[in-house]
Structure 1
Amino acid sequence: MRLILSLGAASLILAGCVARVPPSQPSSPIPTPAPAPAPSQPSTTLDSSTRAVARDVVNREMAKRLPGRNVAPYTDCVINNASMAELSDIASRGVNDSGSAASSVATIVQRPAASQCVAKVAATA
């Protein structure tokens, strides 16, 4: 029993030795994480490689629909009117499933800006 009291007293004494540091900000129930630093070079490399793969997929799809023509200007219309998420989707689908990649390309071509671009290219060709 004496040992327990001795350890209890020693714990209280040691607990009193710890310096209290006042909080600099009011404490919140959920700690907020520090913002992650923005990646600089890797995302640019990823974006350009994704765009390159998507461009290849769109070129193949356009070549199926316009055989014998230079499809690069048509591909530019699609690429320039697609979001990065759509380009990523086209790139991944083009590698795995060309049928769904074709539907993604068709969806982008149906947008007013993309269809106007395609019409201009067709008028000059």
Structure 2
Amino acid sequence: MRLILSLGAVSLALAGCVAPVTTQPTAPIVNPPVTQPPPPTNTLDSSTRSVARDVINREMAKRLPGRNVGPITDCVVNGASMAELTDIAARGVNDSASAAASVAVIVAREPAKGCIGRAAQLG
């Protein structure tokens, strides 16, 4: 019996050494706000257009040597979509034949044909 009382006293003494565990309210989990990616900058668009314009200008100069091809290049650039200009810019660096084919597709469209015809009459 003495042993049981001794163990009980020791247990009580040790129980006083342990800090009581209290549960604190947890903060609610808040998801971060959903943000939209920033709109594409015009810098990429303008640099892509610039590279595509250079490629188109080279292609037009090959086909119309000695002429001011700037207005014709403008017609092609204005008649192309941003995806087409990106494609022409990318291909013009490594594959001028496929860039020329892409330019030819745009030139064959009616709006570009009309614009080129007007530019040819002026220049």
TM-score clears 0.5: yes
- Indicate the RMSD between aligned Cα atoms, in angstroms: 2.6
Q: CA deviation at 1:97?
A: 0.2
Name the residue aligned to 2:59: 61
Matches of 1:66 and 1:19, distance apart in 2: 75
TM-score of the aligned structures, taking structure 2 as reference length:
0.72
Specify the SS of the correspondent of 1:17.
Answer: coil
Deviations 1:69-123 (A, max 9, x none): 1111110000111111111111110001000000110111111110100111122
Provide the TM-score with structure 1 as the length reference. Answer: 0.71
Q: Which residue of 2 aligns with 1:38?
A: 39
- SS state at 2:36 partner: coil
CA distance in 2, matches of 1:37, 1:66: 42
Q: Which amino acid aligns with 1:44?
A: N
Shift of 1:17: 3.2
Per-residue CA distance 1:31-77 (angstroms, 9 max, x = gap):
994322335xxx22221111111111001100111111111111000
Q: Distance in 1 between matches of 2:52 and 2:87?
A: 8
| Percent of paired sites with the same residue | 60
The amino acid that maps onto 1:35 is Q
| Structure 1 residues 113 and 50: alpha-carbon distance in aligned structure 2, compared to 1, 3 A threshold | same
Question: Which amino acid letter does the alignment assign opposite residue 78 of structure 1?
Answer: V
Measured in 2, the distance between the counterparts of 1:103 and 1:62 equals 12
Number of residue pairs the alignment of both structures matches: 105
Which of 17, 24, 33 is the matching residue for 1:17?
24
Match of 2:46 in 1: 48
Matches within 5 A, 1:1-125: 17-19=24-26, 21=28, 33-39=34-40, 43-125=41-123
